[in-house]
A and B are shown apart, each in its own frame.
Chain A
Amino acid sequence: MGPLSTIEKLAILADAAKYDASCASSGTTRRNSTGGKGIGSTEGMGICHAYAPDGRCISLLKILLTNHCIFDCHYCINRKSSNVRRARFSPQEVVDLTLSFYRRNYIEGLFLSSGIVKSSNHTMEQMVEVARILREEHDFRGYIHLKTIPEADPELVHQAGLYADRVSINVELPTDAGLVRLAPDKDARQIAGAMGKVKSDIVETRDARKRFRHAPRFAPAGQSTQMIVGADAATDADIVSKASRLYDSFRLRRVYYSAFSPIPDASAVLPLKRPPLVREHRLYQSDWLMRFYGYQPAEVMQATEADGNLPLDIDPKLAWALKFRERFPVDVNRAGKEALLRVPGLGVRAVERILASRRHRTMRLDDVARLTVSIAKVRPFIVTADWRPVMLTDRADLRALLAPKTEQLELFAA
């Protein structure tokens, strides 16, 4: 067998990256290439340049530098004992691919991850080298996300943050016990240590920039992490509480969830069935509730069922509302923002519009309907000038009434 061609390597190393949930390319500093010699810009909002048939957005060239790995994590397709085909890019090859894709407007930048070859430090050095060539030799001003290796020397991780817009370190599993069992070579304390170091680097450089305009920027789009859902027995309540601790302790921009998916050559310690994708979706919804709707983690946990998991048939906001029916109906003409944000079916934007509108008119059901996606979902929970739900919040079958049709659910879960 001859050496692999670039296209073969790309196929292998993109395939190996398809389990990474992160795709964001937003939230970094504004840049463009006027006055420079290279290409690229970032304007706050990232752009999804394509969507894959799995519904996920493609905004970055998401690949592994190599899928060789000296570690043996059971959930991971690249683990040492797996029989997958292996490939390895040189830093220059990754740079060339990134640039030629970028020039054709296929991508916003690069998301680079890697299996661990030789040593953690060696691998991290190679990843930093990719970013360095892009930034220094090609004056590339697009987005770079580097997944750093927690076992690597903190100085190398620091280097990564100087070139990258975002760095991430995966916590991998929601519980330490799960990590011990499924990622025997990884160490929870080391992961936390690396995340803590990145956080303090971010804070320090941000402070320095307040005093010295030319102080270097460090990961201006912050850090994120990813957790695998459904590979161990952790419940949604465990996951939500882990996520909220991570947000608090490391000021993460995002926690991504990746529903454990069957991997070729899976280790037998893993469950054989994949968890329903809708579970991952419910976790993202609960994440939104905490980030944009002012829910406390404890409240999201209140929405879980006896087994500690969020219901799959309805969204967590509705689940919470059904548990706390005494808080409804909410008077759209009088209630404060917090109360309105709790109404199932009212998004942040709709609530803002209602607040602005009601200075001009007394809201009727039709008025609310114009500001929401589905008035049917909202109606049981609100009072307007011409509408008051008749005991609807007490009806035992409310959940059945509001839950989406099973058909839809299956389509979604497909």
Chain B
Amino acid sequence: MSAPFRDMRLPGAFGVTLPEPDDFEFWRDQARALVQRDVPPDRVAWIEPGGAGDLFAGGRRRLPSPGADAPPVRASRAFVQLAKTAICHSDPERFALLYRLLWRMQGSPRLLEDGADPEVRRLDEMARAVRRDIHKMRAFVRFRLVEGGDGGAGEHYVAWFEPEHHILRANAGFFVRRFANMTWSILTPRGSLHWDRAVLEEGPPAQRSDAPAGDPTEELWRRYYASIFNPARLKVGAMLKEMPRKYWKNMPEAALIPELVAGAQSRESQMVAAGTLEMGERPTSLSAIDKAIHACRMCPIGLLDNRAVMGEGPRDAALMIVGEQPGDQEDLAGRPFVGPAGQLLDRHLERAGIDRRSAYVTNAVKHFKFVQRGKRRLHQTPTAKEVDICRWWLEGERELVQPRLVLAMGASAARGMLGKTVSISKVRGAPHPLEDGSELWVTAHPSYLLRLDGPAREEQSRLFDADLAAVKERLEELT
């Protein structure tokens, strides 16, 4: 190896050519010798391999050996650590900066603590940039299977990556530790690495065309990438900050980005439209709700040939009675509980001593759901989903009336109140506290009684009366 020190035109000046751009050990040995010989920073030119060394062309001269009394060279552990990292930076100035700091450190050993010093700051920035590049390489290297089966014997994975700094060697250990039992190569314009499950070899710089393109798994990965992102939260700036465009060309998923961003708006509105209509705030008066339900098409029931039926009763009723949905006659009259089931309910209420006119009477679902059979419209039970959607209105009524007690009749009404399906026989006859301090009671729907005869009907009528009596009693306690 040729002697590292050469004469320069300036008397007493030295040029040092590094054998490798990231060779810290070499730099350290030379720097130590220069400090010991008292060579000030402005007398040293540090030259990268293949760098502009001819500036200093001239005769060779060896540095004189340091005197026996040459002081030991001092460097803090923190400096050595930072320097090892910063030396991988691609700035040709790095060696000189390191030497200047080492030089200054001999007089002020705690120099590095002074983060406000511009040179310390620069070193810190360099080290940070290198660490970031190391991290991005760990993140954005994409292996492609080029030979053999996935994960099987004989497989070989190859990646192409373009680091910004001289980090390939510094990063090798990471990939060896992570992919110890895989055969892989990483190709870069600054050199290449090859691991065969036992030995790591360094190779010459490579070109993009040396690395294969495509891998069947990329299709899956791209689909994953496109699906895991939430179009309702588009934040392109945040993405670009962490994944700058310069990395995109080697990442199979990045090709999708423009399309994903462009489509996000419409995907988000589809997401919203698929569920609910954009309705803004819920109306804050009963009359406004009345108007709104007539226009409501949030669920398919609203699209049938029917009209909405609003609840009725005093605005400050202590009791709210909830049924399932308007029936044929209710739909025609535009009022709740006027058909046969309503008449039956009236008789039972009277028997229990509850004045229907003092209660707010309404339905879980505001429109009549039916199928047309000739001239007749046959009642159909709303689905859980329809009940959940219409709950938007029921809750609005309840918020305005603020009853102390709600009596839900039948499974749909109970779901409208609770958001879940319960079994009537299990929950009837006892209060269920609601979050606002009021109580829910659940009983059967009167139309259920209409469908029974004989002893079964008698039995159910008795149970219904018992529920109403309990409600009446509880209502008196509450009010």
Contact = CB atoms under 8 A, between A and B. Distances in A.
Contacts of A82: 385
Interface in B326-374: none
Interface stretch (B28-36, B64-72, B274-282, B454-462): B274-282
B228 interface: yes
A7 B435 contact: no
A54 interface: yes
A264 B275 contact: yes
Interface in A9-67: 10-12, 14-15, 17-19, 32-41, 43, 47-58, 61-63
A335 interface: no
Given A32-B177, A32-B178, A39-B182, A18 B217 contact: no
A50 B113 CA distance: 35
A204 interface: no
Interface string B221-250: 101111111111111111100110000000
Given A58-B225, A353-B115, A363-B116, A268 B298 contact: yes
Interface in A91-117: 97, 99-101, 103-106
B264 interface: yes
B239 A10 contact: no
B181 A37 contact: yes
Interface in B102-120: 108, 110-111, 113-118
A83 B228 contact: no
A58 B220 contact: no
B243 A7 contact: no
A6 interface: yes
B154 to A, nearest CB: 14
A202 B261 CA distance: 42
A144 B221 CA distance: 18
Given A6-B220, A33-B181, A353-B116, A50 B235 contact: no
B448 interface: no
B162 interface: no
Contact of B157 (A61, A104, A182, A353): A104
B142 A105 contact: yes
A371 B231 CA distance: 37
A272 B237 contact: no
B160 interface: no
What band does the interface of chain B fall in when counting residues whose beta carbon is under 8 Å from A?
Answer: 35 or more
Contacts of A38: 181
B392 A53 contact: no
Interface string A67-85: 0000010100000111100
A19 to B, nearest CB: 7
B132 interface: no
* Best-surrounded residue of A356, A360, A361, A363 (most CB of chain B within 10 A): A360
Contacts of B475: none
Nearest to B257: A53
A14 B227 contact: yes
Interface in B187-245: 215, 217, 219-221, 223-239, 242-243
Nearest to A364: B116
B98 to A, nearest CB: 19
B13 interface: no
A345 interface: no
* Best-surrounded residue of B144, B151, B418 (most CB of chain A within 10 A): B151
Contact of A10 (B227, B251, B385): B227
A357 B278 CA distance: 56
Nearest to A82: B385
Interface in B438-479: none
A267 B221 contact: no
Contact of A370 (B121, B177, B221, B230): B121
* Best-surrounded residue of A18, A41, A104 (most CB of chain B within 10 A): A104
A55 B226 CA distance: 13
Contacts of A105: 141-143, 159, 179
Interface in A251-277: 259, 261-269, 272, 274, 277
Contact of B230 (A35, A54, A61, A367): A54
B135 A47 contact: yes
B113 A360 contact: yes
A53 B395 contact: no
A39 B117 CA distance: 44
Interface in B381-404: 383-385, 388-392, 395
Q: Which 6 A-B pairs have the closest CB atoms?
A: A55-B238, A55-B235, A266-B275, A52-B229, A32-B177, A353-B115
17 contacts: A50-B243, A52-B225, A53-B229, A53-B236, A56-B230, A100-B150, A103-B157, A103-B182, A262-B275, A266-B272, A268-B298, A269-B388, A357-B116, A360-B108, A360-B117, A370-B115, A371-B115
Interface of B: 108, 110-111, 113-118, 121, 135, 138-145, 150-151, 157, 159, 174, 176-182, 215, 217, 219-221, 223-239, 242-243, 251, 253-254, 257, 260-261, 264, 268, 270-272, 274-276, 278-280, 298, 383-385, 388-392, 395, 418-420, 435
Given A15-B227, A72-B384, 6 more contacts: A10-B224, A14-B223, A101-B221, A101-B224, A267-B388, A272-B276
